[in-house]
Amino acid sequence: MSEIEDKIREIAKKLLEEGKVKYFIGYAKGSDAFCAKPIIIDDPKDVDKLIWSPCCVNNLAVYLVDEIKKKPRRGEEPDLRPVGIIAKACDERGITVLLQENILPRERAYIIGIPCSGMAEPQKLEKLAGEKGISHKAIYDMHIREEENEFSFEAEGVKEALPRDEVLADKCKECFQHNPKECDIVIGESVENPQIEKYVTIKELEDMSLEDREKFWEKIFERCIRCNACKEVCPLCYCEECTVEKAKPMRWCSKSVDKSNNAFYHLMRAMHLVGRCIDCGECERVCPMGIPLRKLYKKLEKEAEELYGYEAGSSSEDVPLFAAFTNDDPDEFE
């Protein structure tokens, strides 16, 4: 792991010194060791702040959207140099969708791909550290490393090893594409893609009866406080004018927090993510109310694959799912 970290710093330094990139988006140490925070660096002196650990869960592709949306100040020449970005396989899929939808010109991003075999979920790490009785101060100084089949971390002179299966993020357990494709540079060796059962998250829900499912989602949607965190963190929710926000020409979805409007909000968001959601799991991670949003989007991912053989973010050359059709699409409508 530290080899990769050194390599990232080296590349970032070189790119920034040569002025090849405008700035560099990477990960820095967070307020505790469990969650790395995104960092934007424009000074080569700061490259030592960059880290790489099993805690780099964030999807950085969302900052590329911010970059594209930014308008230059009046009288200023726009700086069209690319932006350096670290991309795990899931981030890279997000970037691919942005390329596919012509939101991001390819030359505006310098993508540094890192094959990734799974990241640790901060909550799970924190819980396990608590069980092992490690103080909060120690947690800040902790070093987390990835070894063969476990994440090891050192704190207060104690070295603990946690089994991978217990701390691996849920989305990573279901990830079947570990290697980024659309990159300028790849750091680290490619990882073998695992043979796993897809869509285990929604299996339980699919086996439920219709009434049970209705009750399940009713309870979930009631919980939503409409903080819009899922929308803000999503790299693919880039619309300037969002259908669930705008009031003209028609207010489709009221901002009031109730069962019906919350359901509308989430279903509309889900419909907008069909064939686009790349399952980076950010929406679920940032949700303060613990809404299992992946259970909604994963279902649509499954349908897109089963009905149309479409996989989001597999190639920037693909025509988007709803912008294409064939004469022999499945037709249930008679």
Partner 1 sequence: MLPTFEPKILAFLCNWCSYAGADLAGVSRFQYPPNVRIVRVMCSGRISPRFVLKSFQEGADGVLIAGCHPGDCHYSKGNYYTRRRLTVLGKLLEHVGLDPRRFKVKWISASEGGKFADVVKEITEDVKKLGPQNSLKRVDENE
**Under the rule (CB under 8 A), what is the footprint of partner 1?**
202, 205-206, 210-218, 243, 252, 258-261, 263-264, 267-268, 270-271, 274, 296, 299-300, 303-304, 307-308, 321-322, 325, 327, 329-334
Q: How far apart, in whole angstroms, are the C-alpha atoms of residue 269 and residue 262?
A: 11
Amino acid letter, 219: K
DSSP letter at 104 equals: S
Query: Could you tell me the smallest distance in angstroms from the CB atom of residue 75 to partner 1?
Result: 41
In the complex, least distance from residue 326 CB atom to partner 1, rounded to whole angstroms = 8
Label residue 182 exposed, middle or buried (CB < 10 Å: 0-12, 13-18, 19+): middle
Residue carrying structure tokens 């691919």: 96
Report the nearest approach of partner 1 to the CB of residue 237 (Å). Answer: 16
Q: Would you say 42 or 258 has its CB closer to partner 1?
A: 258
Query: What are residue 331's phi and psi, to 5 degrees?
Result: -125, 110
- E-assigned strand segments in the chain: 24-28, 37-41, 83-87, 109-113, 143-147, 150-155, 158-163, 185-186
Least distance CB 231 / partner 1 (angstroms): 16
327 CB-contact burial (10 Å; exposed 0-12 / middle 13-18 / buried 19+): exposed
Residue 267 CB partners (closer than 8 Å, separation 6+)? none
Identify whether the C-beta of residue 238 lies closer than 8 Å to the C-beta of residue 65: yes
The least CB distance from residue 238 to partner 1, in Å, is 18
Is the Cβ of residue 40 or residue 291 nearer to partner 1 in the bound state? Answer: 291
Determine the Cα angle at 285 with ends 166 and 195, to 5°. 50
Q: Considering beta carbons, is residue 28 or 267 the nearer one to partner 1? A: 267
Burial of 59 (0-12, 13-18, 19+ CB in 10 A): buried
Closest CB 258 distance from partner 1, rounded Å? 5
Q: Which is closer to partner 1, CB of 92 or CB of 279?
A: 279
CB of 245 to partner 1, least distance (A): 13
Q: Count each helix (H run) and each strand (E run) in the chain, helices first.
A: 13, 8
Give me the residues paired with residue 19 across strands.
none
Select 158 or 208, whichever has its Cβ closest to partner 1. 208
| Alpha carbon distance 158, 142 (integer Å) | 10
Nearer to partner 1 by Cβ, of 27 and 297: the residue is 297
Minimum Å distance from CB 207 to partner 1?
Answer: 12
Q: 165 vs 206, which CB is nearer to partner 1? A: 206
Least distance from C-beta 276 to partner 1, angstroms?
12
d(CA 2, CA 267): 42
Closer to partner 1 by Cβ: residue 7 or 259: 259
- CB of 20 or CB of 213, closer to partner 1: 213
